[in-house]
Structures are given as structure tokens and as C-alpha cells.
């Protein structure tokens, strides 16, 4: 049975490749490829599930392929199947099938018709990799595919300002979740001294043996998992991104933010449940987070004027209840709740355009005052205060800006003195000196040697902070991102002795993608003149090929699983010791800001209203 796992991953991959080859004007063939791929996948799923049930619902695991092995480090693809995967697979295939069928007519004659079905099939590939994953490394591959698919679908109407702006917002939250998952893998490597599978994680004896003398490590891993799950499932304080994600087409909102993608945080908690179920403090934290999210987002949902926003906040509230159920240990109930919430929200979002017209008609012809609600029993001041807070969405957006992004922007703005000439004159020679000292470590005293990894990681962070706030030269911003990766590689090389080919593996993807991206920006500069980062240029309208190549370069630099950097990032963290929290913090913060800076360059240069357009565009959402 395990050998059939490949079928569930290969079918969406083949469908995605075929859809890329279909001409964009042939809507019938495009929809048939997508519909046929998902339909065949659904049939295979039903047959497999029936066979699996008759076999007694065994837990299956398949160690598929080892991508990299060095010493005690092994990066391998692992697939698993149990009741959790079965539930997510059944719900996923049914809903994707329905949404694909719905989209055939909903997006008729839409300019991005082909782009939509390409992205949906790409998303379905990532979803299947994620739910079949047998370890955190395999899950991370699917996780990354889902993240970029989400960004592309929110920015589907890429000639408009608001979809692009909100796509960047959502990606910034996803990036926090990505790094949280990397940090969880990093500490899990040190805890178990291997890339442990979810099947091994469910063995209480193995887990208890390792956690007995490293309880704080277990709590750290669990909190990183919780942060990742909260970011993906829009729990507090990250809840405000989900309504902003509704800027995409209604079918993508239904499949992403109503049903499948938004519930992957729950999937992560279910998969790692055996790890944190015996940590009472973590269970209390998960329960309190879910309960607080439910209470606050229920109030917000009740005062929304937009149907999509109301559904979004209602879904967040239900996911908060699922978090509470998991904290209480009700895994089966959480799975049933997931399926019910996913089907309901998909239905609500797909019929939301019709519901608006129905409600308008009801308001005019059959209006009746609302029955007395629980809020009416509160003292008037409390009732009014809660109403204003809910209308303002508890200032969640302002909270994220004030405590997360504004400090990053403030730090970047303090680096305005850095010009390309000054970076070339100061930082590059210092880097070369660092490389020389690395080759002649006997020249460095032990006290200085211990301090150098943190110092070099701070230099890397400085590069991306400046890149993130750069408003003039796109090429300079791009070069600073590439340089930051070299600083991180130098910092980790000083931290621990390991084979040079591991650094080469990490930097090879960075260098290739960096050169390609720079050539794209240089070519665009020659064709269009100004490509500063002070506004959105929308150059994908006239230069779609350059836009596509630059997007691939961006993915390569961010460590997407199309380049060796994907494995290299995991390798880099494996050489940071468990007690080096400061070094891990600066390195992870560099990766977070690095992703934001890259997406900002792509969005500002290629997305948004075209600079030569004569039409005005709204710059604020309702």
C-alpha cells in the first residue's frame, strides 16, 4: 500500500505540468486538464480509502529517498498515512474537485484563467505533499508550496493595488511560520540527534527518554510548532491576515481560506500531538490561545459589513475551538470539527455573491428587527466599548505593525547611510578578511573566535534590514540580500567545523538565483528606465517572461524547494548548537526579513497598477 503514495503526489504534479503546456486561450482544454486531474485523484482516493479501511486502518510509513547525507545528518523524504491523513485527503479531494468544477465557469474569459488553474494544481500538489508527510522536512516542502501558491492567488488580480498589498501582508505572516518550523526542526535535531519521523515521535518511550533531561528543549520545540500553527491558521495575534486574503477570486478564497490551507495549522498540531501531549504548560497555552481567539473573532465576525470578512472571522473562531479540543486531547472530535468547518465555509464562500443579493432583497421586503442578543444584557458602556473594538477588529493590524514590522522598518531606516559604494568599500573587505581568518583560524584568539559567529550574523541581518527599507535602487536591494547569505554562511562556518561542500550546497542556489535575478532587473532597467522601489510598477503587464524568470529567482533565493538552498538552510541550522540562542535568533530573523525584502522587490517591480496607466486605483481597503 505504501508504494501507492507516489500516485497521490505524482498525479497533481503531472496535471500541473500539462496545464503549463496548454495555450492560455484554450479555456476548455485548461479546465479539462485541471478537472480531469483532480477528478482522477478523487477516484483513486476513494478506492484507496475503502481498501485501507478493509485492511484494518493500518498506520503506514515509507522512507522514500535520501536527498542529502553527511555524518549523523540525513535529509530524507518520508511519507506516512493514518486516520489524520485519511481525513485531510478525503476532505481535500472532494472540495478541490468541487471548486475546480465551479471555477470552469466562474472565471470564464478572465485574463488570468490559465494562471488560476496552474496555481490551483500547484497548490494541490503542495497540499498532498504536506498531508502525506512523514517528517518535518517533507512537511516543510509542502508548506512552502502552499505559501507561494497562496501569495500568487491573493495577488491574482495583479494589476490592482489592494490584492498585491494584501498578498505581501499575508506572505509576511507566512514567513514567520516558515522560520518557526525551521527552528522547530533545528532544536528537534539536537534533541533526537536525527531527523525523526512522526511515527517515531508517537513512541512515548523514545520521546520520554530524550525529554527527561531536556525538558526546556521540548517546550521550545512545542512553542515553535504552536507559533507556526497559529500563523498558518490565523490565530491571535495573526488573525487579521485572513480577511485580507479574500482579495483573490472567490473559488481560491473558498479552497484556501475557508477550508484547506487555513486548517493546516491544525494538521501540524495533530501530527505533533504525541510530542506535546505530556507537556501540561504547552497544552494550557494552546487551549488559552484557541479560546481567546474564538471569543475575540466571534465578536468581530458579528459586526462585519462584508460577507467574506464575516465568513473569514467565523472560520477563525471555529479553528480556535479546534485548538481547544486538541489541548483537551479530543483528537477525533478535532478531525470531525475540521471536516464540518471546511465543508461549511467552502459552501458559504461559493454562494456568497448570491447571498448578498438575497439579503438586499430581504432587507427591503421582509425586514424584521433582530431578536435580543447576549450583548444587550451587558452594561451600555461595556456593550458600546466591545462594539467599537470589534468594528476596529481589536486593532490587530495596528498591533502587528507597531510591535513587529515598525521596529524592523525603524532599524532599516537607521541604515540609510549605507550606499552601494560604502558597502563595497567597507563590508566586502571585512568579509574577505573574515574568509582569510577562517582559513587561518590559528591567528584568532579563542575569546574573539567565540564572538565572531554572532558578529557576522549581525552583519547579515544589517544587509537585509537595509534591503527591506531601500526605496531607490532595486538592484542594490537585491545585491544586499545575496550578501546577507554569504555573511550567514561565514558566521556558521566559524561556529562549527564541517565539510566545505555543505556551505557550497547552501550558497550554490543563492549564487545561481542571485545572478539570474540581477540580470532580470538589469534588463528591465534598460527597457523601462526607472524601477525604484518607492511605488508599484506593474511591469509584468508588458514583460511577463522577465516577471516569471525573476519570480523563479526569488524562490531560489528564499530557499524554495527548487534549489539546493532549501536543504542548505536546514544544514546551516544543524550547525548552530542548542545553547546558542542568540546566534539562532539573529540567523532566523535574517531569514524572515530576507523573505520579506525579496517579495517586496518582486511586488513593487512587477505587480500592481502599471506605472503608465491613466486610470486611478483605490489605495485603501474598506
Looking at residue 136, its pLDDT comes to: 87
CB 153 within 8 A of CB 123: yes
Looking at the DSSP bridge assignments, the partners of residue 74 are: 69
How many beta carbons lie within 10 A of that of residue 180, not counting itself? 23
Looking at the DSSP bridge assignments, the partners of residue 135 are: 197
Helix (H) or strand (E) holding 73: strand 73-81
What cell was used for 455?
Answer: 558578529
Looking at residue 614, its pLDDT comes to: 60
Query: Which residue blocks in 202-255 are alpha helix, DSSP H?
Result: 204-211, 215-232, 241-244, 250-252
CA distance 182 to 588: 8
CA distance 335 to 83: 9
- Listed in sequence order, the residues at least 6 apart from 381 whose beta carbon sits closer than 8 Å to its beta carbon are none
The Cα angle at residue 91 between residues 88 and 93, in degrees rounded to 5: 100
Quote the crossing angle between the two packed helices 544-557 and 474-495, to the nearest 10°: 20
C-alpha radius of gyration, the chain, whole number = 25
Nearest Cα to 145, choosing from 272, 258, 249, 9? 9
Helix (H) or strand (E) holding 281: helix 280-302
Is 199 exposed, middle or buried, given 0-12, 13-18 or 19+ CB atoms closer than 10 A?
middle
CA distance 319 to 266: 8
CB 262 within 8 A of CB 268: no
User: Residues in the chain with pLDDT < 50?
Assistant: 622
CB 166 within 8 A of CB 133: no
Q: How far is CA 252 from CA 96, 255, 340, in A?
A: 10, 5, 19
Looking at residue 206, its pLDDT comes to: 67
566: number of CA atoms within 13 Å, CB side? Answer: 21
Looking at residue 622, its pLDDT comes to: 43
CA distance 8 to 132: 9
**Cα four-point dihedral sign 535, 168, 527, 510:** positive
Nearest Cα to 260, choosing from 180, 345, 189, 385? 345
CA distance 249 to 234: 19
The Cα angle at residue 558 between residues 400 and 503, in degrees rounded to 5: 125
CA distance 613 to 196: 53
CB 379 within 8 A of CB 216: no
CB 485 within 8 A of CB 459: no
Amino acid at each position: 500500500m505504501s508504494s501507492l503514495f507516489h500516485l497521490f503526489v505524482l498525479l497533481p504534479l503531472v496535471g500541473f505540468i500539462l496545464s503549463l503546456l496548454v495555450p492560455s486561450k484554450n479555456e476548455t482544454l485548461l479546465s479539462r486538464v485541471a478537472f480531469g486531474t483532480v477528478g482522477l485523484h478523487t477516484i483513486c482516493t476513494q478506492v484507496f480509502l475503502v481498501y485501507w479501511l478493509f485492511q484494518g486502518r493500518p498506520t503506514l510509513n515509507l522512507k522514500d529517498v535520501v536527498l542529502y547525507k553527511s555524518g549523523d545528518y540525513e535529509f530524507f523524504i518520508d511519507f506516512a498515512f493514518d486516520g489524520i491523513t485519511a481525513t485531510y485527503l478525503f476532505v481535500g479531494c472532494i472540495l478541490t474537485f468541487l471548486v475546480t468544477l465551479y471555477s470552469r465557469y466562474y472565471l470564464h474569459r478572465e485574463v488570468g484563467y490559465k494562471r488560476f488553474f496552474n496555481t490551483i494544481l500547484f497548490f494541490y500538489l503542495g497540499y498532498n505533499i504536506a498531508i502525506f508527510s512523514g517528517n518535518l522536512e517533507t512537511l516543510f516542502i509542502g508548506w512552502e508550496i502552499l505559501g507561494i501558491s497562496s501569495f500568487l492567488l491573493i495577488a491574482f488580480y495583479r494589476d490592482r493595488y489592494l490584492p498585491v498589498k494584501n498578498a505581501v501582508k499575508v506572505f509576511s505572516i507566512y514567513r514567520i511560520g516558515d522560520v518557526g518550523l525551521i527552528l522547530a526542526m533545528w532544536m528537534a535535531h539536537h534533541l533526537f540527534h536525527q531527523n525523526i519521523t512522526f511515527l517515531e515521535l508517537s513512541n512515548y518511550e523514545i520521546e520520554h527518554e530524550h525529554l527527561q533531561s531536556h525538558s526546556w528543549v521540548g517546550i521550545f520545540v512545542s512553542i515553535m510548532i504552536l507559533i507556526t500553527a497559529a500563523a498558518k491558521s490565523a490565530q491571535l495575534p495573526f488573525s487579521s491576515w485572513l480577511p485580507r486574503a479574500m482579495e483573490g477570486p472567490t473559488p481560491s478564497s473558498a479552497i484556501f481560506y475557508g477550508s484547506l490551507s487555513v486548517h493546516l495549522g491544525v494538521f501540524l498540531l495533530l501530527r505533533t500531538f504525541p510530542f506535546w501531549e505530556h507537556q501540561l504548560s504547552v497544552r494550557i497555552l494552546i487551549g488559552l490561545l484557541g479560546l481567546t481567539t474564538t471569543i475575540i473573532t466571534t465578536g468581530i465576525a458579528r459586526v462585519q459589513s462584508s460577507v467574506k470578512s464575516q465568513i473569514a472571522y467565523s472560520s477563525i473562531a471555529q479553528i480556535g475551538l479546534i485548538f481547544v479540543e486538541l489541548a483537551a486531547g479530543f483528537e477525533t472530535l478535532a478531525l470531525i470539527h475540521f471536516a464540518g468547518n471546511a465543508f461549511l465555509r467552502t459552501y458559504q464562500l461559493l454562494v456568497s455573491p448570491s447571498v448578498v443579493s438575497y439579503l438586499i432583497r430581504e432587507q427591503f421586503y421582509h425586514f424584521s428587527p433582530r431578536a435580543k442578543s447576549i450583548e444587550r444584557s451587558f452594561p451600555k458602556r461595556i456593550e458600546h466599548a466591545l462594539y467599537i473594538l470589534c468594528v476596529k477588529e481589536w486593532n490587530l493590524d495596528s498591533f502587528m505593525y507597531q510591535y513587529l514590522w515598525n521596529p524592523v522598518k525603524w532599524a532599516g531606516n537607521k541604515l540609510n547611510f549605507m550606499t552601494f559604494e560604502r558597502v563595497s568599500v567597507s563590508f566586502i573587505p571585512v568579509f574577505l578578511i573574515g574568509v582569510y581568518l577562517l582559513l587561518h583560524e590559528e591567528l584568532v584568539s579563542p575569546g574573539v573566535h567565540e564572538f565572531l559567529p554572532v558578529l557576522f550574523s549581525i552583519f547579515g541581518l544589517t544587509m537585509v534590514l537595509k534591503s527591506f527599507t531601500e526605496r531607490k535602487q532595486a538592484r542594490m536591494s537585491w545585491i544586499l540580500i545575496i550578501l546577507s547569505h554569504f555573511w550567514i554562511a561565514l558566521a556558521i562556518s566559524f561556529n562549527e567545523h564541517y565539510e566545505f561542500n555543505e556551505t557550497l550546497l547552501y550558497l550554490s542556489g543563492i549564487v545561481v538565483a542571485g545572478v539570474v535575478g540581477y540580470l532580470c532587473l538589469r534588463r528591465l532597467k534598460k527597457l523601462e528606465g526607472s524601477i525604484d522601489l518607492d511605488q508599484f510598477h506593474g511591469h509584468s503587464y508588458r514583460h511577463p517572461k522577465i516577471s516569471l524568470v525573476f519570480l523563479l529567482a526569488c524562490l531560489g533565493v528564499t530557499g524554495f524547494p527548487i534549489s539546493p538552498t532549501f536543504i542548505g538552510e536546514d544544514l546551516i541550522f544543524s550547525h548552530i548548537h542548542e545553547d546558542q540562542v542568540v546566534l539562532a535568533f539573529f540567523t532566523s530573523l535574517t531569514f524572515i526579513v530576507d523573505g520579506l525584502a525579496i517579495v517586496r522587490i518582486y511586488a513593487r517591480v512587477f505587480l500592481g497598477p502599471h506605472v503608465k496607466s491613466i486610470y486611478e486605483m483605490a489605495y485603501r481597503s474598506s
